Amino acid sequence: MSSRIVNWFKFSSPATFYPLAGRMIPWFTAAAVILLGVGLYMSFFVAPTDYKQGEGYRIIFVHVGTAWMSMFIYVVMAAWAGLGLVFNTRVSAMMATALAPTGAMFTFVALWTGALWGKPMWGTWWVWDARLTSELILLFLYLGFIALQSAIDEPRRADRAGAILALVGVVNIPIIYYSVQWWNTLHQGATVSVSQGSSMGTVMLWTMLIMTLGFWAYAIAVVLARVRCIILERERDTTWVNELEGGVR
Amino acid sequence: MFETFLAIVRRDLILAMRRRSDMLTILFFFVIVVSLFPLGIGPEMNTLRLIAPGVVWVAALLASMLALERLFAIDYADGALEQMLLAPQPLSLLVLGKVAAHWLVTGLPLVLMAPVLGIQYDLSLDGLRVLVITLLLGTPALSLIGAIGAALTLGLRGGGVLVSLLVLPLTIPVLIFGAGAVEATISGLGGEGHMSMLAAILVLSLFFAPLAAAAALRVSVE
**CB within 8 Å: A157 and B173:** no
Helices B2-18/B91-102 angle, 10° precision: 40
Tell me which amino acid residue A101 is: P
Contacts of B172 in chain A (CB under 8 A): 137, 176, 179-180
Contacts of B153 in chain A (CB under 8 A): 148, 151
Please give the Cα distance from A165 to A74 (Å, whole number): 12
pTM for this predicted structure: 0.86
Domain that holds residue B166: 2-221
Whether the Cβ atoms of residue A73 and residue A51 lie closer than 8 Å to each other = no
Residue of B nearest to A175 (CA): B173
Whether the Cβ atoms of residue A95 and residue A103 lie closer than 8 Å to each other = no
**CB within 8 Å: A172 and B170:** yes
Whether the Cβ atoms of residue A12 and residue A87 lie closer than 8 Å to each other = yes
At A54, is the secondary structure helix, strand, or coil?
strand
**CB within 8 Å: B148 and A160:** no
Helices B125-152/B45-78 angle, 10° precision: 30
Whether the Cβ atoms of residue B148 and residue B219 lie closer than 8 Å to each other = no
Helices A90-122/A130-151 angle, 10° precision: 150
**CB within 8 Å: A164 and B157:** no
Least confident of A78-87, A90-99, A127-136, A180-189: A180-189
B165, B172, B216: residue with CB nearest A161: B216
**CB within 8 Å: A157 and B220:** yes
Q: Smallest Cα–Cα separation from B94: which of B31, B12, B25?
A: B12
Whether the Cβ atoms of residue A95 and residue A80 lie closer than 8 Å to each other = yes
Q: What is the ipTM of this complex?
A: 0.85
**CB within 8 Å: B180 and A186:** yes
Work out how many domains chain B is built from and give that number.
1
Contacts of B165 in chain A (CB under 8 A): 140, 143-144, 147
Residues in chain A: 249
CA distance A138 to chain B (A): 8
Q: Which residue has the higher pLDDT, B1 or A63?
A: A63
Q: How far is CA A223 from the centre of its chain?
A: 9
pLDDT tens, per residue, chain B with 222 residues:
788 889 989 999 998 888 888 888 999 999 999 999 889 988 888 888 888 889 999 999 999 988 888 888 888 888 888 888 888 888 999 999 999 999 999 999 999 999 999 888 888 888 899 999 999 999 999 999 999 999 999 888 777 788 888 999 999 999 988 988 888 888 888 788 888 989 999 999 999 999 999 999 998 887
Digit-coded pLDDT (tens) for A165-218:
999 998 888 888 888 777 776 654 444 445 554 456 778 888 888 999 999 999
Please give the Cα distance from B176 to A171 (Å, whole number): 18
Contacts of B184 in chain A (CB under 8 A): 186
DSSP chain B: -HHHHHHHHHHHHHHHHHTHHHHHHHHHHHHHHHHHHHHHH-S-HHHHHHHHHHHHHHHHHHHHHHHHHHHHHHHHHHTHHHHHHHSSS-HHHHHHHHHHHHIIIIIHHHHHHHHHHHHHTT--HHHHHHHHHHHHHHHHHHHHHHHHHHHHTTT-TTHHHHHHHHHGGGGHHHHHHHHHHHHHHHTTS-SHHHHHHHHHHHHHHHHHHHHHHHHHHHHHH-
pLDDT of residue A249: 45
